[in-house]
Structure 1
Amino acid sequence: MSDPVPIPIAEYERGSKKTTRFIRTNTTTIMATVFPPIRWVVPGYVPEGLAILAGRQKLGKTWLAIDWALAVACGGIAMGAVECEQGDVLYIDLENGHRRIQRRIETLFPDMRHRPDLSRLEWVGEAPLLNNGFLDALDDWRLSVAKPRLVVIDVLQRVKPPGNANQNAYESDYATLAGLQRWATEHGIAVVALHHTKKGGAEDPLEALSGSNGMSACADTTLVLDRDQNGVTLYVRGRDVEEKETALKFVGGNWTLTGEAADVRRSGERGNILVTLEEAGEPMSPSDLSHVTGMKNGNIRRLLHAMTKAGEVQKTGRGQYIHPEKAVEKRSSA
């Protein structure tokens, strides 16, 4: 069954007064409707609709967006692990220019003999503002290609019009992106807009976006690329996306998924504890390890308990821990 056709909004006469009707759809009709499945462009990360990819400057957002663009244009693999359906891609690059684009592609595919067919990936170097012909230009592209699937805007700030003096920042940002979000949703195309995060970050990744919360509120999906002492992570949350945080590795222009961020972070913290115990001249308490590593005392206590059960560290005395190799050396010298 196709989507139900709602009663259109219409004015009708009630006496001498015109009244506007709501569009109403019965719950039974909605529940009986068979909707098409969500169209994934990068499965698990980027569905159809408007997505914002945010991160600090020089962290590699453009390389990640190019990775997605190439995977879709070639029907290849994104981030070394995610298979993408082939389609047409428009990359609106407003910062780099064709020379730098060429260098990036050559970095990713240095041997021309093994370079895939990239003809379904097109580039744009100039674009009007979102409120001044941008959507018309997008629609012209959509109608000119066989299978439009992905648009990348690098960066959003270059096509974002000035704020409206009659609106607060939230209202202005939401209104600015609303038309782009409707266009992407209506046509089943993913639009990924690159954006920056605030200095200092935030407790909630969505609060880290530069500007007001109107951006993440309007977007269907928000992705935040970040780096901490344990490496780089990609956080994703959205209307049609299961919230998750994944660890990535960046080598030679290529982003590669390395696992769930929590698992990788836990592994990195365990490694930090082992290195610290190995370098220590004597057993250490959780407080000692917290002071040296900068990790939270509670986290260290939980990890030490698990590591002791796994034989990764040994407990010696009350609340003191030692690297297993140090324990062997101690027994050998006794």
Structure 2
Amino acid sequence: MLDFAQASPTETAEVIETTVDAEAGTVQVRPKLGRLNATALLAKRLPTIEHIVPGYIQPGLSIVAGKPKTGKSWLSLGLAVAVATGGPALGNVPVKQGSVLYLALEDNERRLQQRLRQILQEQEVALDGLYFETECPRLDAGGAEAIREWVDATEDARMVIVDVFTKIRPERSSSETGYESDYRALMPLKQLADETSIAVVVVHHTRKMAAEDPFETVSGTNGITGAADTILILDRGGQGTTLYARGRDIEEIETALLFDKQSGAWSAQGPAAEVRRSDERQAILAALAEGASPMSPTELSIKLDVPNANVRQLLQRMLSSGEVSKRGRGLYVLNEEGDGEVVIEE
């Protein structure tokens, strides 16, 4: 810390401002830090946040992470098409139209063309605002400047997608820690997003080791997640695919997603907990319909590969709603009056 009592005039001038009141004959010293107090901040009229994809992508730096082959690129391309056309994202999320730069650094023109045609499904939409590049220099070798040039030259620039981050990541310095390297690597994109109020979406990977908190699975150190404004995790599990979202300017959300192989489109099905509960309810009804005799919660749990506690809680709700009935101690059957609608997939 600088000792002002012993500092030279030159050192002091670097950290404070000095003004001279000629009439009073006094010298006023004003620190460079602490110029904005709470009263002044509250009085400021600041612009509201204009969401890029409401609930998921805001202006700033976002990370979309997932294991290989989970559909991250399909998700990113779908978001790009939605924003570029002003159409709904994830099937039902309204977005404002704007230009998008998609750095498809692991693809080629043939694959991009094929995927675009698959997503569009012969729809006639204007895609003049969606731009592609399959090559880009590393951020510390001209890449950051090239991306900024596109943003500056594009009047309605709204989003830049980098797929995938490894391709343009700066080289790590031998003197840096892992955290410092990860944080510094994302800073050019973070600064660009903050200065231009656009969304920069970086596609990244998750590590193989599972974690109780899905956001802890992002590959690398906490420098990656610390630099980002929003983190999205695309996770495929035994009960389906979930998109986890957490950020500085959004509420934490867990959305069940459904992938349409024919169109290559991801669609939001609703809050994951509610959707999974509905799926489990349907599975229980189907299992009871197929069963030759009443079944216990344990038998249903084993058959459906669902935690026993979940089955017991759901059976109680289904009993109250009249979907199932009890036969004997701890055995369940479909309601005799047929209140439970059963759909058995062939």
Q: Give the TM-score, by structure 2 length.
A: 0.86
Q: Which amino acid is 2:91 matched to?
A: G
1:209-220 maps to which residues of 2 (within 5 A)? 209-220=218-229
Determine the C-alpha separation between the residues in 2 that align with 1:171 and 1:294.
Answer: 43
Aligned to 1:18: 11
Larger Rg: 2
Paired-residue identity, % = 43
Distance across 2 between alignment mates of 1:22 and 1:217 = 27
Query: 1:189 aligns to what?
Result: 198
Q: Could you list the per-position Cα deviations for residues 149-170 of structure 1 after superposition, in whole angstroms to 9, with x for gaps in the alignment?
A: 0000010111112333222222
Give a deviation string over 1:114-141, Cα, whole Å, max 9, x none.
Answer: 4211111111111111222222111110
| Alpha-carbon distance, 1:316 to partner | 1.5
Match of 2:189 in 1: 180
Question: Counterparts of 1:1-334 in structure 2 under 5 Å?
Answer: 15-16=8-9, 18-19=11-12, 20=15, 21-24=31-34, 25-111=36-122, 114-251=123-260, 252-324=263-335
Q: 2:269, 2:92 → 1: CA distance?
A: 9
How many residue pairs get matched?
A: 316
Shift of residue 16 of structure 1? 4.2
CA pair 74-66 structure 1, distance change in 2 beyond 3 A:
same
Deviations 1:178-233 (A, max 9, x none): 22112101210100011111224321111111122211111000011111222212
Q: Could you tell me how far 1:78 is from its partner in structure 2?
A: 1.0
Instruction: Give the corresponding residue for 1:3.
Output: none
SS in 1 for 2:45: coil
Other structure's SS at 2:65 match: strand
Q: Is the 8 A contact 1:278 1:326 kept in 2?
A: no
CA distance in 1 between counterparts of 2:240 and 2:176 reads 39
Q: Which runs of 4+ in 1 moved over 3 A?
A: 13-17, 325-328
Q: Which amino acid aligns with 1:42?
A: V
Shift of 1:326: 10
The letter for the 2-side match of 1:250 is: F
Amino acid at match of 1:196: H
Indicate if the aligned counterparts of 1:155 and 1:193 stay in contact, CA closer than 8 A: yes
**Are residues 134 and 279 of structure 1, via their aligned partners in 2, closer, same or farther at CA, if it must alter by over 3 Å?**
same
Secondary structure at the aligned position of 2:280 is classed as helix
Give, in whole Å, the separation in 2 of the partners of 1:273 and 1:216.
39
Shift of 1:17: 5.9
Q: Is the CA contact (8 Å cut-off) linking 1:314 and 1:327 kept in structure 2?
A: no
C-alpha distance in 2, partners of 1:248/1:129?
A: 33
Cα distance in 2, alignment partners of residues 68 and 160 from structure 1: 23
Residues 105, 163 of structure 2: 8 Å contact kept: yes
Q: Is the 8 A contact 1:72 1:87 kept in 2?
A: yes
One-letter identity of the residue aligned with 2:67: R
Say which SS state the counterpart of residue 59 (structure 1) adopts: coil
Unaligned runs of at least 5 residues, structure 2: 16-30, 340-346
RMSD: 2.2
Q: 1:321 to 1:200 in 2, by over 3 A?
A: farther
Unaligned runs of 5+ residues in structure 1 are: 1-10, 329-334
Structure-2 separation of matches of 1:327 and 1:119: 54
> TM-score, normalised on structure 1?
0.89
Give yes or no for contact 2:78–2:119 (8 Å, CA) kept in 1.
no
* Native 8 Å contact 2:58 2:199 kept in 1: yes
Structure 2 CA distance for aligned equivalents of residues 305 and 164 of structure 1: 59
Letter in 1 for 2:55: G
- Distance in 1 between residues matched to 2:338 and 2:256, nearest whole Å: 33
Q: Distance in 1 between matches of 2:186 and 2:120?
A: 35
